[in-house]
Amino acid sequence: MQPRVDLITLGVPDLAAARRFYVEGLGWEPMTEVEGEIVFLQVGHGLALALFGAEDLEKDLGGTAPAGGPTGMTLAHNVGGEKEVVEVMNRAAAAGAAILKEPQPAAFGGFHGYFADPAGFRWEVCHNPGWSVGPDGRPAIVPVDG
Amino acid sequence: MQPRVDLITLGVPDLAAARRFYVEGLGWEPMTEVEGEIVFLQVGHGLALALFGAEDLEKDLGGTAPAGGPTGMTLAHNVGGEKEVVEVMNRAAAAGAAILKEPQPAAFGGFHGYFADPAGFRWEVCHNPGWSVGPDGRPAIVPVDG
C-alpha cells in the first residue's frame, strides 16, 4: 500500500451549513458537486475534501462503525483497479486492520472496501475509474456507470 | 483562507501500536519522528500524516473539544506568519467557526490557533517556521526554537 491520502471525507450533519461555511464563508470554490448530496473541494495537489451527509457516509461504510472509535470522517486511498483494492485490503488486514466492509462494487460505480486502523481510524480503499489528477495536481471526478 | 490541507493528525490511544501498523505493517517510511512522541509520514504532495498521542493532541487543543463532536483528529492549514494565523482565524470565525484556541505561541515553537467548523471538525491554523515543502512535494519539518 503506497503512503497516500487522496480524499478526506467529512460526514456532516447539515450539508447546507457545511457548504455555507466552506464555500460562502471561506470562499473555497467547489471542484465538483451533486446538489444536496456531496461537495468536493480541492485542498492540495491531487487531494480533495468531500462534504458528505453523516448518515450517507455511515451508510456507505455499511453501518459498521466501531462504537467509541474516531467517528465522522474517512481517509481514502485510490488504486488502479479492483484487484489492487483486494490486495491493499489484504495487506491492511495482515498488518492488523479490522475489515469494516469487504471489497465490493461501490454505489458510485467503482469498487471499494473499508478498514479501520488499530485506533479505529477508517480508510476507504477505492478504485474509481472516474477519478483523475491533472498535471497541475487538480483532481477531477466524473460519474461512472454503476 | 486558501483551500489547502497540509497535515492530518490522528490522535491515537497507543502510539506504538499505530507506528507498528503504518510503518511495519503497511511499510510506510517515517519522514520524521520523535521517538515515543510523534511520527510523521508523507501521504501526498506537500501533505503529511501525523501519528500523535490522543491525550497529547487534546492537550495541544487546549482541552476544549466540543462534547459529541467529531473527535480524535485534526486537519491543519499552514500559513506564512503569525499575522496570517490571526487573519485566517478571524475569517473562519466570521464564517461561523467556533474558536477553540485563540492564536498563540505553540508548544513546538511556532504560532497557532484552532477552530471548529459547523459540524465540529477541528482545524489548526499554524505558522511553523520549521515546515517546508521541496520541489518534489516532500514536506520537511525541522525543530524551531520555542
d(CA A23, CA A32): 12
In this complex, how many residue pairs, one in chain A and one in chain B, have their CB atoms less than 8 Å apart?
Answer: 149
Instruction: Give me the residue spans of the domains in chain B.
Output: 7-133
Q: pLDDT for A68-115, tens place per residue?
A: 445 678 889 999 999 999 999 999 999 888 898 999 999 888 999 998
Q: Which residues 24-53 of chain B have a CB within 8 Å of chain A?
A: 24-29, 41-47, 49
Do A8 and B75 make contact, defined as CB atoms within 8 angstroms? yes
Instruction: Specify the pairing of strand A98-105 against strand A111-116.
Output: antiparallel
ipTM > 0.90 (yes/no): no
Predicted local distance difference test score (pLDDT) of residue A30: 93
pTM metric for this prediction: 0.81
Q: What pLDDT, in 10s, does the model give residues A19-30?
A: 998 899 888 999
Query: What confidence score (pLDDT) does residue A70 get?
Result: 55
Lowest mean pLDDT among A49-53, A58-62, A64-68, A131-135: A64-68
Architecture label for domain A7-133: Roll (3.10)
As a whole number, mean pLDDT of residues B35-44 equals 92
Minimal Cα–Cα distance from A130 to chain B, Å? 20
A81 vs B108, higher pLDDT: A81
CA distance A21 to chain B (A): 6
Report the alpha-carbon distance of residue B139 to residue A40 in Å, rounded. Answer: 24
> Is the minimum CB–CB distance between A133 and chain B shorter than 8 Å?
no
Please report which confidence band the pLDDT of residue B14 belongs to, taking 50, 70 and 90 as the band edges. confident
Q: Is A39 exposed, middle or buried (0-12, 13-18, 19+ CB in 10 A)?
A: buried
C-alpha cell, B56: 497529547
Put simply, the chain B residues between 64 and 93 with a CB less than 8 A from any chain A CB are 69-73, 75, 91-92
